[in-house]
Amino acid sequence: MATLYGKTYTRQELLQHVGDIAQLASLRPVELVNGSERGVRALEFRTGSGFSFTLLQDRALDIYDASHNGCALHWHAPAGAVAPAFHDPHDIGYLYFMAGGLLNTCGLTHAGPPEIDEEIDEELGMHGRIGAIPAKNVGYGAEWEEDEYVLWATAEMREASLFGPNLLLRRSIYTRLGQSRLWIKDVVENQGFDPAPLMFLYQCNIGFPVVSAGAELRAVINHVEPRDKEAEPHIDSFEQVEAPAHPYAEQLFFVDHDPDARGMVNVALVNPHHHDGNGLGVYLSYPKAELPYYTHWKMLDKGVNIIGMAPGNCLPEGRSSARHNDRLKIIAPGESVTFHLELGVLGNQQDLAAFETRLQEPQAE
């Protein structure tokens, strides 16, 4: 059943109060028309709880805008939702194309800095190609399933080249009336006849007002490793958010989380002081068996001010480094690999307290 405005409704009870359920929750296709965003197709979701988000069909069905009760949850890059025709796959061209938004997908065969994979003499641009591939076979809708009203979208993105990998990503994203969370299911299938690298990473970009002084990362942490000498001096305070400063050298930390008894990692960025102490946060929940690595990105430079929460089957180190460190995953011909991610809002002190209680539950042995 749907919970709205502090009350729980069955389907029939709720429909007595509206002429069209879209009055409360809706999914609307739109098209962006301004500047370099022109032609980008999008899907706008409203759940009725105050939670809304936008999927970019022409950017791998990634999540762009996201807000809760008018407060932004996401971070936007200066370039905006650039159309895929402007994507430069070489070197650091990604930085001119990066949209930001609540979720960027990195992969499918490379995630990390640009490099030359000397083993096969292939140039690899930053964070791979999948985030610039338009979706096809897009489906979307909103429908009742007994007393639950479900809003959903599905799509396929193919990363393939002649004489190279042929990987198909099937993405499903859905939410429900009255919910302040969404669920993602991604299935990557190797439709080629040779093994292929599989580097898959969810780059979740959290911005102001969640990212402001006093916010912090909350999780059950087993171990933290700084990426480099820039991050090393800050390891004891990596989970804390400071006020923006300039200049600011980006810091990356590789975090090993303890999963709960169900094998799920629960991690949140919370700002307990937001809005007169009401609190605001964004959380992720996902199976550690599917996404064993987590990267925490702090870039609190003035005019940037982002915290990146990035679970993946890899670290954003690049294909060569992953291979050298025996971390490179390989997907066999005909094999399918599935990833799940729940992404949601902690919208008040009660939500923050409930998340803290979840972190206190028994962890997996």
Residue 75 has pLDDT above 80, yes or no: yes
Torsion of CA 127, 128, 132, 134, to 10 degrees: -130
pLDDT of residue 275: 74
Give CA–CA dist 239/242, Å, rounded: 10
Q: Which tokens belong to 69?
A: 């009760």
State which H helix or E strand residue 319 sits in. helix 319-324
227-279 pLDDT, tens digit each: 999 999 999 999 999 999 999 999 999 999 999 999 999 999 999 988 778 99
Is the full-model pTM beyond 0.85? Answer: yes
Distances (CA, A) of 288 to 104, 265, 312, 329, 335: 19, 6, 9, 15, 20
146-171 pLDDT, tens digit each: 999 999 999 999 999 999 999 999 99
Q: Which residues are CB-neighbours of 286 under 8 A, at least 6 positions away? A: 264, 265, 311, 339, 340, 341, 342
The residue with tokens 């990267």 is 295
Q: Mean of the pLDDT values across residues 299-327?
A: 97
pLDDT of residue 276: 77
pLDDT range class, residue 365, cuts 50, 70, 90: low
Q: Which residues are CB-neighbours of 45 under 8 A, at least 6 positions away? A: 26, 27, 52, 53, 54, 55, 151, 175, 182
Give CA–CA dist 107/269, Å, rounded: 24
Closest CA to 196 of 221, 220, 223, 160: 160
Question: What is the C-alpha R_g of the chain?
Answer: 20
Q: Mean of the pLDDT values across residues 340-359?
A: 96
Cα angle: 128, vertex 129, 132; to 5 degrees: 135
Q: Where are the domains of the chain?
A: 2-360
Closest CA to 205 of 8, 66, 51, 42: 66
pLDDT range class, residue 364, cuts 50, 70, 90: low
**CB atoms < 10 A from the CB of 4, how many?**
17
Q: Mean pLDDT score of the chain, rounded to an integer?
A: 96
Amino acid making up residue 279: G
First to last CA, the chain: 34
pLDDT range class, residue 73, cuts 50, 70, 90: very high
Are the beta carbons of 155 and 171 closer than 8 angstroms?
Answer: yes
Domain range 2-360, its CATH number among 3.40.50.300, 3.30.390.10, 2.70.98.10, 3.30.1490.190: 2.70.98.10
Q: Which of 96-100, 174-178, 224-228 has the lowest mean pLDDT?
A: 96-100
Q: In what order do the strands lie in the sheet with 104-106?
A: 104-106, 201-206, 306-312, 293-299, 251-257, 221-226
